[in-house]
């Protein structure tokens, strides 16, 4: 804990095991905004990147997240490619495959290693049920 | 005080009518729930972004359909994007107008695409105008509330 004021630590502990972290991966700024708004409301610390390659790079730099919201269709590196890469890197985060299509390439995405598949944008209800599962795991 | 209550009622009724007439759907409610003191302009910001995106796409669609050799794949990709973003903010009628448009793109039906584009543009301008009215009403209500606070 070092020299931090003990009194302040209760609500804002830096590495609280209870505070989840998430990465939003989507090329659409509108979707990024909405998903980040959703996560913020749920108290989940989050970051956003624009494509699969940036998602992989952020992990190379050492960052880790409890949850990754991975869009399917993105330029430079797709969600399917990025998921495969992250899994091969040993990343065990809960990856939610997110797409505007209900069935297209769903199987391929699942095979790549996502834990769940949702249509975007996520709603508050859907996000909450995802968070329940992740918190229980922790 | 009276004026404020009236404004509130007007805003409530107007919003309800937008849902009843199918201009907005539940996704818009979701956005409203994401707005709070730490994010006070969330809905306006997201909707403004949608307006910018939509206008850019509609211009692209118009240009593409004016080409000698129409790239239907590219056309479809743009309609798909507009379909997605309109759905994201709850602009139900715009979203629905994109569905037959995509089918015409797949069929490479120019006539159908042109008609659909007109329909999408029409629905977009309607929802844009209605949302702008909604935001203006909210501003007036806010101004009225602030004016109340000044009377000590």
DSSP string, A13-26: -TT-TT--EEEEE-
> Would you say how long chain A is, in residues?
138
Q: Which residues of A touch B88 (CB under 8 A)?
A: 30-31, 34, 120-121
- On the question of pLDDT at A9 being above 70, the answer is no
At A19, is the pLDDT very low, low, confident or very high (cuts 50, 70, 90)?
confident
CATH class entry, domain B43-137: mainly alpha
Q: How many CB pairs under 8 A join A and B?
A: 50
> What tens digit of pLDDT does each residue of A97-128 get?
999 877 778 999 999 999 999 998 899 999 99
List the single residue in B with minimal CA-CA distance to A121.
B88
Terminal C-alpha separation, chain B: 13
Domain extent listing, chain B: 43-137
CA distance A87 to chain B (A): 28
* Tokens matching residue B59: 């211009």
Interface of A with B in 11-70 (CB under 8 A): 28-31, 33-34, 37-38, 40-41
The pLDDT value recorded for residue B1 is 56
The pLDDT value recorded for residue B150 is 78
Q: Which residues of B touch A30 (CB under 8 A)?
A: 46, 49-50, 53, 85, 88-89
Task: Provide mean pLDDT across the span B130-148.
Answer: 93
Q: Is the ipTM value over 0.90, yes or no?
A: no
- Residue B35: its H or E element: none
Q: Choose among A40, A41, A121: nearest Cβ to B88.
A: A121
CA dihedral A39, A45, A50, A54 (to 10 degrees): -150
CA distance A88 to chain B (A): 31
Model pTM?
A: 0.86
Q: Choose among A30, A38, A124: nearest Cβ to B85.
A: A30
Task: Provide mean pLDDT across the span B111-130.
Answer: 98
> What tens digit of pLDDT does each residue of A70-90 get?
999 899 999 999 999 999 999
List the single residue in B with minimal CA-CA distance to A100.
B84
- What is the distance, to the nearest Å, from the Cα of residue B48 to the centroid of all Cα atoms in its chain? 9
């Amino acid at each position: 804990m070092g020299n931090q004021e003990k009194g302040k630590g209760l609500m804002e502990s830096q590495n609280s095991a209870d505070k989840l972290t998430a990465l939003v991966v989507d090329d659409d700024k509108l979707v990024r905004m909405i998903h980040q708004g959703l996560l913020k409301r749920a108290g989940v610390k989050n970051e956003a990147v624009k494509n699969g390659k940036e998602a992989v790079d952020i992990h190379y730099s050492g960052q880790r997240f409890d949850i990754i919201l991975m869009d399917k269709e993105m330029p430079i590196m797709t969600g399917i490619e990025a998921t495969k890469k992250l899994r091969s890197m040993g990343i065990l985060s809960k990856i939610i495959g997110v797409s505007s299509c209900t069935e297209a390439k769903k199987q391929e995405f699942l095979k790549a290693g996502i834990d769940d598949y949702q249509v975007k944008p996520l709603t508050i209800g859907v996000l909450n049920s995802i968070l329940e599962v992740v918190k229980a795991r922790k | 005080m009276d004026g404020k209550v009236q404004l509130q009622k007007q805003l409530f009724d107007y919003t309800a009518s937008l849902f009843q007439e199918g201009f907005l759907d539940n996704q818009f409610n979701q956005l409203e729930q994401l707005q709070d003191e730490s994010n006070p302009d969330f809905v306006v910001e997201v909707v403004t972004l949608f307006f910018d995106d939509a206008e850019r796409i509609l211009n692209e669609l118009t240009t593409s359909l004016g080409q000698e050799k129409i790239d239907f794949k590219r056309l479809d990709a743009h309609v798909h994007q507009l379909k997605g973003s309109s759905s994201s903010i709850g602009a139900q009628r715009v979203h629905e107008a994109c569905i037959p448009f995509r089918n015409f793109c797949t069929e490479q039906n120019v006539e159908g695409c042109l008609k659909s584009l007109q329909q999408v543009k029409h629905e977009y301008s309607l929802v844009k105008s209605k949302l702008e009215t909604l935001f203006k009403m909210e501003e007036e209500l806010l101004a009225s509330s602030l004016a109340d606070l000044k009377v000590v």
